[in-house]
Every structure is written in C-alpha cells, then in structure tokens.
A and B are shown apart, each in its own frame.
Chain A
Amino acid sequence: MPPRLNVSAFSRSIAFRPKPQVQWPARSALRVAPSQTRTYADDKAPAQDRSHKPSSEPIEHVSEEAAKTAQIMGEQGPDVNQGTPVEDLVKGDKEAQKNLPKVMQDALKQGKKTPAPKGSRSYSTMTTRSNEGMDMGLVDFEAVSKLPVTPGLKFEAPTLPLPKDGHVKHRYDPVVEQVTNLLMRHGKKSVAQRQMAVVLQHLRTSPIPTINPARPLLAGAPPPSHLPLNPVLYLTLAIDSVAPLLRIRAIKGAAGGGMALQMPAPLSQRQRRRTAIQWILGAASKRRNTGSGKNSLGQRVAQEMISVIEGKSGVWDRRNAVHKLGVAARANIVLPKRR
C-alpha cells in the first residue's frame, strides 16, 4: 500500500500565494486563431463540440493511472479514493526534488516543525508594493532574453524586457516625474527639474540615514547603506513609507443633525503618493531657509526626505492621524447585505 497524504506537512505552507510570474506572453505565429463564429452555450450538437470525444478527456491523475495499470497487471494499485501528494511521489528522487517549487523544497527541508506565527497586530496599516519588487534603479542589468526569431520581420525583434527608458513619454521614473510636477510653480517645469536635480544630488551626498525602528519603512526596503547611491529609490521609499492608505471623505449631513459623516475611502497608489509628496513639500517649505541662492528649496525638500526616512518628520504623525481616524470611521461603512 503506498503511503497516504501527509496532512500535517501542508499545514503552514499551503497559505503561500506565489507571485504571478511576470513573463512576456510569447506569441507564436503558429497559434491557432480563435473561431470567428460564436455559438450559444446550449446549442444542440454544435459542429466543433468535441468535449465528448475520448481524446478531449483530461489526462488522468498519476494515482488513477497507476491504479489502472495495476488493475491490468493484476496487482493491487494505490487507493484512488484518496489523492497522492507530490511529496510522496518525489520521495527519494533527488532529481525530481530539484524541480519542485521553492515552497515545497523549503517544506521538505523544514521537516515536520511548524514555524511560529509572525506578527501580533490585529490590523495592518502597512502596505507593500503590489506588483513589482523594489526598483533598484539599475538600467540594462537584467538578463535579456531574445524573442524567438520570427520570419518576415523587417527589423530585428527587440530584446526583452524592454528598457525602462524605452518609451519617449515614460522614460523617467514615475515618482521622480510626479515630484517634479508637484514642485512646479507657474508652469516652469525646467526650474522644477533643476530643483529635482538638487534634491537627488543632496540625497546622494548626504550621510547614510539611521532608521528609527519606531517608524518602520516599507516592508522589503533595502538596508539604509544602499540608499544614498540610489537617490531615486531613496526618494520613492520616503514617499511610499509615509503615504496614507486612505482619505476621510466627509459626507455632509449624512450623520444626522447637520453632522458630516466621516467615511474612509481608499486611495490609489498615485493618489497616495500625491498626498505624501504634498505633505513633504509643505513641511519643506515651512523649514528654515539657512542658505541662499536658487538651490535652497531643493535642499530643504531633500532634508525633509531624509528626516522622513529617519522617522523625525512630522509627516509621520499626520499619516498616523489619518489612519487612526480611518480606523475609527470604519464603523460608518455600510456594506450591502448579502443575499
């Protein structure tokens, strides 16, 4: 009798949600174009319906296949009523174990110990960057892959992934561009760009920041020693770390008695950044101007960014106040009843 599914082995690792693999959907020229005619779902005996043919049946599971083989051979195969875990299949097979996903490999290594649960907060006010990891600001360093050669192309197919600055309208970092636009006054973009250059230069030459553990930065942030050499990441990290998750919408008169109803509303990533940038710029313009000359605003903005990273800035209190209010106003959210 082959071993049954080991339930305890999956107890923790099942919770893992693998990241969607970002991959270029390689389009083959040989792909069959979908049929142009559409049929109703309940059409009787449509011409193309091959779902009942034996060839369209799904491939049987390993265990079922093994059971059938055993039946033919006249032996006792595995019990088909229970599934066979992959761990059992690859047990002792080093080659196959290498091809397992990382989680399962880790689970194999860990054995039967269950890791302690992490985190004690009932709700989280942290956010992680959803789709991509931290942008390291390196250009042209990813391993390039070439598309398969397709005959009939006039020019060579591009190497993938496409370079970050490949599109003329989106060649600059989105955060830098957003900060520049918010720095701009009276439509003078080149002045704003010069200030932005001053900000980046100041971040680049300032000493390594010391992180305040009471003000945690974004999860997955690089160590502070990496920041000055990558000023764009420095800037992004400062902005994203203090960006509020929501705003409080006051609905007039909805609370009764002429009171406004405080309703938390989620913000998109760009909106969150915009709020954070405006807080930071406001704090920077209130800073004491110790120098003179045209670069002083850029320097103050950069000093404010550094104090955000070091957890000294008052912007953190502002964000915490918004979050606190948001948690209090959760009660005002009325979700539609479930039927």
Chain B
Amino acid sequence: MPSANCLRNFSQLSLDATAHSTAASRFLQPRVACFSTSAARYANPQMKKKGMTAAPKKGVKTLNTKKSKGASGADAGKRPAQGERKAQRKRIVLSNNNALEVSSLKDLTKTNVLSEANEGLVMGLPEPVVDALRDVEAFKTTQGWSFFRRPAVLVRKEAIQLAKLFKAAEEAAPGKDKKTIRRILTGNRMSGKSTLLLQGLSMAFLRQWFVISLPECQDIVNAHTDYAPLEGSEPTQYTQDTYTAALLSQTLKANKAYFENAKITQKHDLAVPLPAKAKLSDLVAIGVANPEASWSVFKALWTELSQPGQPQILLAAEGLSHIMQNSEYMNADVKPIHAHDLTIVRHFVDHLSGVKQLPNGGVVLAATSKSNAPASPAMDFRIKSAEALKIQTSIPQWNPYTNGDARTMEALKDLENPKADLDILEVGGLSKEEARSIMEYYAESGMLRHQVNDGLVTEKWSLAGMGNIGELERASVRARI
C-alpha cells in the first residue's frame, strides 16, 4: 500500500504540468489530474448549438450526405434475447398436431424390438424412449420428425441386422465369453445412418442396456470447451471437464431406470467427498455439479459398470471422421493435439478398435456422416477395404502420396481382418416394399396427398436414387416446388 503522501505528490505532478506547457501538452489534453475523474465527470460538455449556420437560401440546393436519423424503415422493436435465435434454429420438434393419427401404428416394446417379424413395418417409439433419445440428443433438426404426429421409424433390413447383433450380445452376456460387437455405419448421404443409430439407441433403451452416446463428435474436438492435461498420463492426455460433465448429465437423465436402483459397490478415489450411503446416481450428480471432478467420476462410473451382473453397454458416436484426425486443441508447444489424446475420445476409440472390451458385453456403434465430415483418408481407406472384403474383391492399395493419419490406420485396422468383430454396416437404399410401407405411413399421416400405388412408389423410389430414404422423404413429403 503506497503512502498517502506519495499519491498526493503524484497527483501534484500532473497539476504542475501547466508550468512547462509545451513539453507536457499531450498530458494536458484532459486538463484534470490523472488520478481524479471528478472534474471530467462534472464538466458540462460543450454542445454545439444547432441551427447556428444560416438557413440555405430559397431555391438553392444544399448537399446533405447524412442519412436521415430515425428513418421510417428502421426497426425499433425489441430484439430477441441472447441465444434465442440459435435456440429457435436448433429446436427439435417431434410432433405435428395437424398430422393425422395413424391407426395401424404399433409401438416398439421390450419384447418385439429385436424380433424379425417387424421387418418392413413402421413402428412408433414409446414415450419414455423418446424422452431418453431426446436426452442423448439423438434427434437432429434436419430429420423430418416435425411432420408427423409422433416419432416412428421404419424397421428396415439394416435395422434387423442391427437387432440380430443386439440379440447376439445379449445371448452371450450370461456366459463366460462376453461379446463386444463393433460396427461402423456407412452409406450415402441421407441414407439414414443417423436414424439407424437412433434405432440402435432405442433398442438399447428398450432392452434396458446402459447407454453412453456422444451425440456429435465435432463438439468434442472443435475446441469450444475447456481442456487440461491429465496428471500422470504418458504421453499426455487431456481431459475436457465441461464436456465430460455435460456428458455425465445426459447419461444420468437417459439411463434413469438404471440409476434408480444402482448402488456403489467399489471404493473410489475422488477429490470431492461422497456422502454416506450414496447411490450411484449421487456419484454421477457430483460429477455433473463439479466439472473438475467429472473425469474421475466418469472413470468411477465405468468401474461400477464393469462389475459382473451389470447391464450390457451401448457406446455410440456420431460423425466419426471428426475424431479420426487432429483436434483443434493445441498443446503447450502449440502443436495440435490428436483427437485420440482427449480422454473421452480415447475411451471410445479404445473400445471401437478392440484395445479394450466391454466388461459385460455390448455394442459399440459409430456412424459416419457424409454432410458434415472433414476428409479422413485413413478412415475412408479402411472402410473401403472393409467393403472390398464384403464383396470379395481385391483390397485397395494405399496411395503413398496421401497424408494418412497413422493412429487412425492403427485404430481401424481390424476392418481389414475378417476374423475380428469390427465391421461396417452399410446403410443402402430401401427396397420397394419398404418404400411402399413408409409411403403408406406418409399418406396415412396426411402428409402425402396421393394414392399410394405401384406407379407412385416406383416413381418416387427411382427419383430417390433407388430408394435413398432421405431423398424419398424429400420427394414425397417435402415438396420442393
């Protein structure tokens, strides 16, 4: 604390400046002591009086370059609050009250969700599942949920394949060798990859699996959330506290049924003290409330889920190519951090590549994207080789002049191995029967005002590029005319 005397001297100094005016002219501009603002505050600003200049003579035109103030076109109304516009843009609407109720629509239930009898039918999603899917942000704004009375999905051929995988994982669960089935959803743009992932999520919710879903991989790596190096990791990994806390919060909401009865069985080393008789949901709630503890809470949750007798796990991620390259984060040497060095991504990729197995069995699902995807030559190459394996043609050669990401190549190398359980699930076009089924649903909802006959189905199926479901919806429901 400087003495009062010292301060007074200092302020005197600037007042003395009047004595040697030329040298200190630039200090004099405010004409007040530097450490006092009172004079400036109380000084009356000298307003230039209006109308001092003579009025222009009659008949003489004067140049007026100023734009008129308060023009009639200016909008003086209240602006939308901060974030309101974005919220409106990102709003998910799952119901249209004008659409007709489809009488023949049946709901998916725990018993029939994995059955093959549903193939080619449009099935409704039950209310609790819709809530859970909303919690994990499985619905996208670009999908056409807002046209229909309530969310419903077409159980297509690929969905049946997925159901078989779920069944296989469930059947293996009680035995000794648990199964971790890993699949990458690929396919053309608008072919329904995200919706198939959503169907996988709803299967898991209905079968009471534990679901951890990364709704959009871009959000993890685009450096919009804070990050910090993880202590004691070699090579250095980075935690993302805010993101992890948000993920924990989503997981807590989505798996409500599981957390109701789940207890803490293990001892965990946490920075934040746990209350006595805490349940597992309390543990996760601590991670949500204290982002700095979120990663250790996530690890603790995983340890609990790894205990025998716990449910199967579905790990899902959307937009895979974002995490198959360098992230936007920088390390201390201002070098980009690879996405696999972020703890959450590492956790997912380890299970996708088979480095770690799901403790009680389950499914790891990753959906690629064709509309919002950075180029990832290594991933594309691995997927192409998996496709070649499927149709039994020669495996493509890696172009040595392209810059591939070595860690991605390594992580996805099981795609080239026919024995490994990492594979692609190719989402193709609908068959005409499936197209007819979904178009009948459109017509029954009142969204397609046309008689659904063979001619119409074939026409739209062809217009949609051999049954690409997104294009089919665009051609029949969203008339772009």
Distance in Å: Cβ of B468 to nearest Cβ of chain A: 18
B100 within 8 A of A: yes
Chain B's closest residue to A190 (CB) is B480
- A205-B93, A292-B85, A292-B89 known; A230 vs B449 contact (CB < 8 Å): yes
- Knowing A291-B89, A292-B86 are in contact, say whether A205-B481 is a contact too (CB < 8 A): no
Q: Which of A193, A205, A208, A288 contacts B75 (CB 8 A)?
A: A288
Q: In the assembly, what is the distance between CA of A201 and CA of B99, in Å? A: 12
Partner pick for B480 among A141, A177, A194, A229, CB 8 A cutoff: A194
Known A-B contacts A141-B451, A292-B85; the reply to A205 vs B147 at CB < 8 A is: yes
Stretch at the interface among A132-140, A239-247, A314-322: A132-140
Establish whether residues A229 and B88, one from each chain, have CB atoms under 8 Å apart when the complex forms.
no
Are the C-beta atoms of A196 and B96 separated by less than 8 Å?
no
Q: Check: A158 CB closer than 8 A to any chain B CB.
A: no
A residues less than 8 Å from B89 (CB atoms): 291-293
Indicate if A228 sits at the interface (CB-CB under 8 A). yes
Interface residues of A in 22-73 (CB under 8 A from B): none
Alpha-carbon separation in the docked complex, A69 to B220 (Å): 102
A177 touches B147 (CB 8 A): no
A139 touches B480 (CB 8 A): no
* A180 within 8 Å of B (CB atoms): yes
Given contacts A139-B450, A228-B98, A230-B449, contact A204 B147 (CB under 8 A): yes
- Chain A positions within 8 Å of B77 at CB level: 288
Residue pair A176, B85 in contact (C-beta under 8 Å):
no
Distance of A196 Cα from B481 Cα, bound (Å): 7
Number of interface residues of A (CB under 8 A): 29
Query: Scoring A residues 278 to 314 as 1 if CB is less than 8 Å from chain B, else 0, what string do you get?
Result: 0000000000101111000000000000000000000
Q: How far is the CB of B89 from chain A (nearest CB, A)?
A: 5
Closest Cβ neighbor of B84 among chain A residues: A290
Bitwise, B144-171 to A at CB < 8 A (1) or not (0) is 0011000000000000000000000000
CA distance A177 to B453 in the complex (A): 26
A237 within 8 A of B: no
Q: Once the chains bind, are B481 and A201 in contact (CB under 8 Å)?
A: no
Q: Could you tell me if A197 and B85 are in contact, using CB atoms closer than 8 angstroms?
A: no
Which residues of chain B are near A196, meaning CB under 8 Å? 480-481
User: How many of chain B's residues have a CB under 8 angstroms from any CB in A?
Assistant: 27
Is B456 interfacial (CB 8 A cutoff)? yes
**A205→B97 CA distance, assembly (Å):** 7
The contact of A173 among B86, B480, B481, by CB within 8 Å, is B481
Interchain CB contact under 8 A, A291 and B453: no
Write out the residue numbers on chain B whose beta carbons fall within 8 Å of the beta carbon of A222. Answer: none
> How far, in angstroms, from A288 to B479 measured CA to CA in the complex?
27
Q: Is the CB of B451 within 8 A of A140?
A: yes
Which residue in B88, B93, B449 is a CB contact (below 8 Å) of A291?
B88
Let me know if A207 is at the binding interface, CB within 8 A: yes
Q: Does A217 contact B (CB under 8 A)?
A: no
Contact B98 A205 (CB under 8 A): yes
Q: Is B447 an interface residue (CB 8 A)?
A: yes
> Given that A172-B481, A196-B481 are contacting pairs, would A204 and B96 also be in contact in the complex, using a CB cutoff of 8 Å?
yes
Contacts of B447 in A (CB 8 A): 204
Inter-subunit contact A139/B75 (CB<8 Å): no
Q: Which residue of A lies closest to B146 (CB)?
A: A205
Chain B residues lying within 8 Å of A177, measured Cβ to Cβ, are: 481
Q: What residues on A are CB-neighbors of B100 within 8 Å?
A: 229
Using Cβ atoms and an 8 Å threshold, which residues of chain B touch A277?
none
Any A CB within 8 A of the CB of B229: no
Distance (Å) between the CB of A102 and the closest chain B CB? Answer: 29
Contacts of B453 in A (CB 8 A): 140
In the complex, whether A200 has a CB less than 8 A from a CB of chain B is: yes
Across the interface, name the chain B residue whose C-beta is closest to A136.
B449
Contact string against A for B residues 74-97, beta-carbon threshold 8 Å, 1 for contact and 0 otherwise: 010100100011101100010011
Q: Is the CB of B480 within 8 A of A193?
A: yes
CB distance B450 to A229 under 8 Å?
no
**Contacting pair B80 A176 (CB below 8 A):** no
Q: Which residues of A contact B446 (CB under 8 A)?
A: 229
Q: Which 5 A-B pairs have the closest CB atoms?
A: A228-B98, A292-B85, A140-B451, A172-B481, A139-B450
Name 28 A/B residue pairs within 8 A (Cβ), A-sorted.
Answer: A137-B449, A138-B449, A138-B450, A139-B451, A140-B450, A140-B453, A140-B456, A172-B481, A177-B481, A193-B480, A193-B481, A196-B480, A197-B480, A200-B479, A201-B146, A201-B478, A204-B447, A205-B146, A207-B98, A208-B98, A229-B99, A229-B100, A288-B75, A290-B85, A291-B88, A292-B85, A292-B86, A292-B88
List the interface of chain B (C-beta within 8 A of A): 75, 77, 80, 84-86, 88-89, 93, 96-100, 146-147, 446-447, 449-451, 453, 456, 478-481
| Given A193-B481, A230-B449: 20 more A-B contacts, CB < 8 Å | A139-B449, A139-B451, A140-B451, A197-B479, A197-B481, A201-B147, A204-B447, A205-B96, A205-B98, A208-B98, A229-B446, A229-B449, A290-B80, A290-B84, A290-B85, A291-B85, A291-B88, A291-B89, A292-B85, A292-B86
